[in-house]
Structure 1
Amino acid sequence: MRRVRSGAAALAAALFCVPAAAAPEQAELCGACHGARGVAEMAEVPSLAGQPETFLTLQMILFRERIRRFEPMNAAMQGLRDAEVEALARFYASLPPAQPEAAGDPERTARGRALSAEHRCGVCHRADYAGQNQVPRLSGQREDYLLHAMRDYQAGTRQGTDTSMQAALYGLTERDLADLALYLATVPTSR
């Protein structure tokens, strides 16, 4: 009988929780760069809205533990407890993702689409580029941020949990990266 009550209590709690009812206190600080609702307007800053919760949690822990180094993020994450990191991740994951940028040059977009297929970006990031688990959403992300991130991965200056992105981007030219970023930034978002 105790098991039934515990299960019922958990179900009731889950049903009455509103994912984005209130932003965690730390979200105000995050919003200065990443946008009040997680949609960045600053150059080379990623949008957080609609990113997979596991991805967001992992990235914040990597910054907090200084495994990933970018001083503004290292400082912002310093001292956050796991529960606070998880609350921030849950909040941003619950927000509607950023809308894609307007379609750019059709020839470059087609090249980017072909490069994405050739390099199998959809295997990890999913066919709709919505991301999954520890893999980020690319659809609707800022073109300048995507290009910046790919350059960093290719140069080996962006640290993460593995080297799969360095391998995926190996041999791509600057033009390839730019066309790929353009294409990914214009892919329609899905939830």
Structure 2
Amino acid sequence: MTAAIGKGRARWPAVRAWVSVLAYCTSIFCLPGVAHADAEAGKTKAQTCVVCHGPMGNSTNPDYPILAGQSARYIYLELRDFKEGRRSDPRMSPMAAGLSREDMLDLADYFAAQRAEPVPFKADPVRVEAGRRKAAEVLCTMCHLGGFTGQNEIPRVAGQHYQYIVKQLQDFRERRRTNDAGDMTSVSKGLSDEDIMNLSAYTANLQ
């Protein structure tokens, strides 16, 4: 009985994530009659973004995430959170402050349509294997899907910069980032620094 309860608790963050997905379906992406995004307009608007995020969203600087290939919904919601203060960053918050809803939709559509380019990463096989085991233990793929390709509001982390993944996991654990409906905070609070480095090595190694 105790084991069954433990398994149930372990799956709860994943269940909450699915509830969050359903809740987000009341957003502009699921409402009838909303304006469609314009990827071509997004390409023009993205010229400012590529200074940090790289051509077509393929960042080469590990401080900035790769946006290419993320879902349009995820990109839009993150931009909206930066604009409305639910997520904060000294570089992104000022950039998002002046964006309109149409700007965010266009940018999201543009970057989602781009192909993510592989990032050179020298993986430590021991860390990669430890990260794989930890990912299975905490059921990461229940939300991020197999291969960590992401879905809907859940980001793609496969092939993301190692340094960026480490920072995000640390921020979730320390509650410096809380715009996730509590799911990642719940998962990350039990992670050690070693766990975070291992998970980051594993996901960064995926392409």
- The Cα shift of 1:159 comes to 2.4
Paired residue for 1:104?
A: 123
1:99-138, aligned counterparts within 5 Å? 99-102=118-121, 104-138=123-157
Tell me whether 96-105 or 44-53 shows the greater mean CA deviation: 96-105
**What 5-or-longer segments of structure 1 have no aligned partner?**
1-13
1:62 partner amino acid: D
**In the aligned structure 2, how far is the partner of 1:111 from the partner of 1:181?**
10
Paired residue for 2:206?
A: 187
Q: Secondary structure at the match of 1:124?
A: helix
Q: Is the 8 A contact 2:172 2:184 kept in 1?
A: yes
**In the aligned structure 1, how far is the partner of 2:52 from the partner of 2:186?**
30
Q: Which string of whole-angstrom CA distances, capped at 9 and with x for unpartnered residues, describes residues 7-42 of structure 1?
A: xxxxxxx9xxxx865643320111111112101122
Q: Is the 8 A contact 2:62 2:162 kept in 1?
A: no
2:136 partner amino acid: A
1:44 partner amino acid: D
**In the aligned structure 2, how far is the partner of 1:158 from the partner of 1:116?**
20
Paired residue for 2:88?
A: 69
Structural RMSD (CA): 1.9
TM (norm. structure 1) is 0.84
Pair 1:146 & 2:165 matched: yes
Paired residue for 1:30?
A: 49
Pair 1:52 & 2:65 matched: no
Q: Is the 8 A contact 1:53 1:90 kept in 2?
A: yes
Q: Secondary structure at the match of 1:71?
A: coil
TM (norm. structure 2) is 0.77
1:30 partner amino acid: C
**In the aligned structure 1, how far is the partner of 2:61 from the partner of 2:45?**
19
**What 5-or-longer segments of structure 2 have no aligned partner?**
1-35
Q: Secondary structure at the match of 1:25?
A: helix
Q: Which string of whole-angstrom CA distances, capped at 9 and with x for unpartnered residues, describes residues 72-125 of structure 1?
A: 211111221111100000000000023254451111110000001111111111
- The Cα shift of 1:44 comes to 2.2
| Residue among 156, 177, 181 paired with 1:158 | 177
User: What is the number of residues matched between the two proteins?
Assistant: 172
Q: Secondary structure at the match of 2:91?
A: helix
* Larger of the two Rg values belongs to structure: 1
| Percent identity of paired positions between Structure 1 and Structure 2 | 29
